[in-house]
Amino acid sequence: MGAVGAAHRPAVTVASGPVRFSPPVHVAVVGIGADGWSGVPERLRSVVLDAEVLLGGDQHLDLVPDVDRQEREAWPHPLRDGLPAVLRRHAGRRVVALAAGDPFLSGIGTTLVDLLGAESVTVEPTTSSVALARARMGWSAESTTVVPVAGRDPHVVLRHLAPGHRLVVLSPDAATPELLAGLLVMAGYGGSAMTVLGDLGGERECRVDTTAADWSGRGPDLPVVALELAGPVVGSWAPGLPDEHFENDGRLTRRDLRASALARLAPQPGQLLWDVGAGAGSIGIEWMRAHPSCRAVAVEVDPGRAARVGRNAVALGVPDLEVVTGHAPEVLVRLPKPDAVFVGGGATAAGLLSYCLRSLRPGGRLVVQGTTLETEQALAAAYARSGGELTRLSVEQAAPSGASTGWTPARTITQWSVSKELARG
């Protein structure tokens, strides 16, 4: 490929949002199924063959007949970091990208739209591996959850454990079915029906029907794994997982108090939570379990507890939880602005509550809990200053008392919650 002289290199400006190129970049993305070039409609073949630049994985580029003077370039590694430079080199030219099946199904279409904006990307999908897998299984879209694990920790599957739940897992390699089977067995879901599908829609399509407990060996390249889960009820997507689900050293927001806090934090798809003074990480973990797109950052000053937060997140199916070790509010200035903040420890730190409230995005929610007299005084002052809701929560549990049963009270919690729009001052 010829070098681009520095004096003629297209300019690129990075702002908040898509990357802007001059001259502009437009990319047409064409999906190719397992049936290869023969399955591409004539209309889209012309788009591919007329391209000045053809991008894609090596396996897709090899499917397309040679074209004189057409430049071909494989995706960079890592993809997201290297893609802007590739696009900059080809700004102003006819660029076509090849993708597997539906490019918006955890694919390059999503990445390109994030980088360039939807107006600069045209996508022509073909039948996706998910649609083909559901067709082979006889499962409706409404009864199935799609779980991509390419580029992610396979523990994300654990978030979806529920008796009778159907999953279609998009896998990055032949080793993934064995990893999934092991996770299911350890979670008590070894009896789950497991169908491993390969080369869907192609001449070499294959299928193995088994259970998680009985799976052995490697799967096909890029397998799709269909799971019909069978096992115990091990959790809930409603707030308030049992306390014993969390490894902890006593620094844990207990079940009933956690449910109260999360009800006021109100998890929403795609939103970000700061869990400040995370302890065992239970608030951030349950926030992320509320919806697959929920994001959270757990802030914990103690390195041992921070490591424990990470272990709990993996075990409960949200390995993407970000853990930051350090003092608040100092470490918060480096974090993206949140949609919700929970403060479970350190609420009396100078300036912490006011900084958290100021940092909230529009519509943001702040919830603070504490047990000490000093924290209660700080929350009462914050309530007087900013409004919101001030609540005292007392929980008692039945426990043996000699030969009888009595009530054992936990420490009373003071909780302050406020919405940024409703806050005074």
Q: Do 265 and 410 reside in the same domain of the chain?
A: yes
- Residue 298's identity, in one-letter code, is A
In this model, does residue 9 exceed pLDDT 50? no
Place of tokens 């943001």: 364
**How many structural domains compose the chain?**
3
Average the pLDDT over 203-216 and give the result: 95
The whole-chain average pLDDT of the chain stands at: 92
Average the pLDDT over 163-180 and give the result: 95
Average the pLDDT over 92-110 and give the result: 91
Please, what is the Cα angle at 329 between 268 and 16, to 5 degrees?
Answer: 55
237-250 confidence digits (pLDDT tens): 889 999 999 999 99
In this model, does residue 349 exceed pLDDT 80? yes
157 Cβ contact partners less than 8 Å away, ≥ 6 residues apart: 147, 149, 167, 169, 180, 183, 184, 227, 317
State percent of the chain over pLDDT 90. Answer: 81
121-157 confidence digits (pLDDT tens): 999 999 999 999 999 999 999 999 999 998 889 999 9
If pLDDT is split at 50, 70 and 90, which confidence band does 13 have? very low
How far are the Cα atoms of 209, 277, 298, 301 from residue 325, in angstroms, in the given order?
45, 10, 8, 5
Count of CB atoms situated within 10 Å of the CB of 23: 10
Q: Are the C-beta atoms of residues 409 and 395 closer than 8 Å to each other?
A: yes
The residue that leads in pLDDT, 221 or 190, is: 190
Average the pLDDT over 248-259 and give the result: 95
CATH number, domain containing residue 211 = 3.30.950.10
CATH number, domain containing residue 16 = 3.40.1010.10
Q: Do 264 and 396 reside in the same domain of the chain?
A: yes
3-state secondary structure 105-140: CCCHHHHHHHHHCHHHEEEECCCCHHHHHHHHHCCC
Count of CB atoms situated within 10 Å of the CB of 212: 25
pLDDT of residue 7: 36
Strands 365-370 and 340-343: parallel
* DSSP bridge pairs for 271: none
294-333 confidence digits (pLDDT tens): 999 999 999 999 999 999 999 999 999 999 999 999 999 9
Domain that holds residue 141: 130-228
pLDDT of residue 378: 95
In this model, does residue 3 exceed pLDDT 60? no
In this model, does residue 21 exceed pLDDT 90? no
CA distance 91 to 9: 9
Residue after which a domain boundary falls, among 82, 106, 127: 127
pLDDT of residue 171: 92
pLDDT of residue 425: 62
CA distance 215 to 217: 7
371-421 confidence digits (pLDDT tens): 999 999 999 999 999 999 999 999 999 999 889 999 999 999 999 999 988
Residue after which a domain boundary falls, among 127, 158, 183: 127
CATH number, domain containing residue 356 = 3.40.50.150
